[in-house]
Amino acid sequence: MKAIRSMVLVSSDPKSIENGANDVYQALQHELTSFGLDNEVSLTMVGDVGRHDASPLVIVYPEAVIYGPVKKEDVHFLVEEHLYKGRVAVSLQAPVRELSGRIAWLSARKGTLPAEQRIVLERAGEIDPDSIDDYIIRDGYQAFATALTAMTPDQIFDTLEKSGLRGRGGAGFPTGTKWRFVYKAKGEKKYVICNADESEPGTFKDRLILEGDPHSIIEALAIAAYAVGANEGYLYIRGEYVLAQERIRKAILQAKGMGFLGRNIFGTDFNLELHVHAGAGAYICGEETALIESIEGKRGEPRARPPYPTTHGLWGKPTLVNNVETLANVAPILRNGADWYRGFGPKSSPGTKVYTILGNVNVTGLIEVPMGITLREVIAIYGKGMKNGKTFKLAQTGGSSGSIVPATLQDTPMDFDSFSKAGVALGSGALLICDDDTCVVDLARVLLNFFRKESCGKCNPCRIGTQRVYEILTNISEGTGSLNDLTDLMNLSDNLYQLSNCGLGQTAGAPIRDIVFHYRAEVEAHIRLKVCPTGVCSMSGKRI
C-alpha cells in the first residue's frame, strides 16, 4: 500500500449536505479510483469548518487549498487538475477567507504532512540492544558525561524547563520542575525510579523502548540521579516484560563494566547503583505510590497524597519517579539543546509522542510523531485509513484510563492543552480506533469490568463505585435499564473522580462521562427502545 500523500476533506455541515456534499463525496470516490489515486489520497467528510459562504467545500491538504462551492460535475476536473497533475484548480477555488472552525490547523501546517520524527525511538531497530558499543557509537552516554562534568543541577533543570518537556505518562507535568522539587527536598538519601509498569491495555510503547534501546533509559536515570542528588535507583518493569528485564539487567552490567555506573563515575565523587524490580502483575502498581509500596515489599496500594513522592517517596525519602518515554527524551535534549527540542510540536507541548495504534484501521503498530498531530492524520497517514471502508466513530486514548474521543474532535490537535480544552485527555499513548459498528454502552461496560477487577479495594468510592457502574451498564446493555440510570451514572462518575484515593478510581468514571455527553441518544436507545443501534448488545442477559 502506497503512503498517503494528500488528504481530501469534504464539508458535511447541514448547509453543505443540503447543497449536495454527499454527491460530491461519492464523485470524488469514483474519480480517485479512476485515476488510480485511491491508495495514496485519503478522502473523508469533515464537520463544520467555520464558513458557509461557499458550501460544500473541498479542502486538499497538505497544500490547504480550499475549493467551493463544488458541484458533482466539477469533481473530475478538480481531481485531474490538482491531485493527478499537481496544480491548483484556480477556477474552483473558494473566496479567500480564514477557516475559523475545527480544522484551522490546516493553515498552520500548510505545505507538509506530519512525518514520523524519531527522538525516543531514534536507535530502536537500528542498533544491537545487547551491545553497549553500538549505543556509544550513536552518541550514547555523551549527555551523561557532559551533565556530570560540565553542568550543575540547576543548568540541567533549566535546560529541561526551557525545552518544555512534559511527563509522557499521561499527567503532562513539567519534567524539569519535578526534578527541581526532588533536588530541593531535604534528605541525605534520595532515589530515582523508572516507572516501566506498562499495564494499560493496548499500550506497548515502553516495552519497545526498553527492548530496543535499554541504555537510553540507564543514561537518563544516571543524569536524573546526579541532578537530584540520588545515589540509588530502581527500574520497576512489568512482570510480563521478561525480555525487557533481561536486556536492562545486561545493560546495567555493561554500564558498570564501562565505569558509567558504580563508584567515582567519570573520576568524580558521584556514585550510583541501579536495580531492576519486576512488577507483580497488578495494574494499580502503575500509580507511582503503589509502585513504591510494591518495591518496599508491601501490597501494591496507593498512598494518600500529600505528601508526594518528591518529598516522601521510597522508604520515606525524596524520590523522583518518571515513566520510560519521559526519560528517553532527556539525553537527546541535553545533547541538542532546548531550542532544538522546541522545534518539534506546538509551543505549549513541544517534542514528539509515541503512540500505539490499534483497532479498526488497516495498519496497526507503533509510531513516533510530533505532538499536535490530529486523529484524522493518524488514521489516514499511519493507519492507512479505516478498515473495510468503515466510518470512524471514536477513539479511546491512553488505554482504559484515557478518554473516549468522538469523531467531532478528530481534528483537535493531540497535545496536552488542546485536548484539555476540548474536555478529553491525551493519556499515555494508546489509540484504540473504533468504527461505527462499535457500541458505546458495550465499550464502557468492558472498561468498567476491567476497573472493578483491577481496583485494589482500599477506598470505598472505587471499590463500590466501579462495581455499581458496571451493574448499571449491564442492565442498560440487556434492555432493563431506566432513564434514571443516566443520572445515577453521572453522579457515580463525579463521585469516583472527586472521592477516589488514586488515579484508577478517578479515571474510571471518564468513559461514563464521555458516552453520556457525546452519545446520549445511543445510550437512550438501549433504554427507551430496548435496541442497540449498532447491533452489538444482544439484550440476551449474557454477562462478561
- Domain hosting residue 81, numbered range: 6-108
Calpha distance 303→289 (Å, rounded):
6
Q: Do 23 and 154 fall into the same domain?
A: no
Q: Which three cell numbers stand for residue 140?
A: 550514547
| Sequence-ordered strand ranges (E) for 18-80 | 41-46, 58-61, 65-67
Q: Which of 435, 452, 482 is the last residue of a domain?
A: 435
CATH number of the domain within which 488 lies = 1.20.1440.230
Number of domains in the chain: 4
- Same domain? For 148 and 283 the reply is yes
Residue 264 sits in the same domain as residue 141:
yes
Answer yes or no: is 92 within a domain: yes
Per the listing, cell 540509588 goes with: 232
User: Cα 379 to chain center, whole Å?
Assistant: 14
For residue 365, what is the DSSP state? E
Same domain for 261 and 188: yes
Q: Which residue has the cell 435499564?
A: 481
Copy the grid coordinates of residue 315. Answer: 522508604
Q: What pLDDT digit, counting tens, does each position of 302-356 carry?
A: 998 899 999 999 999 999 999 999 999 999 999 999 999 999 988 889 999 999 9
Would 428 be classed as within a structural domain?
Answer: yes
- Same domain, residue pair 475 and 428: no
CATH number of the domain residue 416 falls in: 3.10.20.600
Residues 172 and 264 reside in one and the same domain: yes
Domain limit, last residue, from 338, 370, 405:
338
**Domain holding 273: CATH number?**
3.40.50.11540
- Asked if residue 286 belongs to a domain, the reply is yes
Please tell me whether residues 197 and 296 are part of one structural domain.
yes
C-alpha cell at 37: 489515486
- Same domain? For 431 and 444 the reply is no
* Residue 535 placed within a domain: no
**φ, ψ (nearest 5 deg) of residue 433:** -95, 125
Q: What is the pLDDT of residue 542?
A: 43
What's at 55, amino acid-wise?
S
* 82 within domain boundaries: yes
| Residue pair 156/227 in contact by the 8 Å Cβ criterion | yes
Q: Is residue 536 part of a domain?
A: no
Domain with residue 102: its CATH number is 3.40.30.10
Distance CA 127, CA 205 (A): 17
**Same domain flag for 308 and 199:** yes
* Closest-CA residue to 196 (of 326, 329, 323): 323
**Which residue, of 46, 76, 108, is where some domain finishes?**
108
Task: Determine the pLDDT at residue 292.
Answer: 96
Geometric angle at alpha carbon 522, from 520 and 527, rounded to 5°:
90
Kindly state whether residues 407 and 450 are assigned to the same domain: no
| 333 and 184 in a common domain | yes
Cα separation, 174 vs 326, in Å, equals 10
Decide if 117 is inside a domain: no
**The model scores a pTM over 0.75:** yes
**195 in any annotated domain:** yes
Q: Residue 395 corresponds to which cell in the numbers above?
A: 477513539
Q: Do 324 and 396 sit in the same domain of this protein?
A: no
Low-confidence ranges of the chain (pLDDT < 50): 540-544
> pLDDT per residue over 23-53, tens digit each?
999 999 999 999 999 888 888 877 767 677 8
Q: How far apart are the C-alpha atoms of 220 and 54, rounded to whole Å?
A: 53
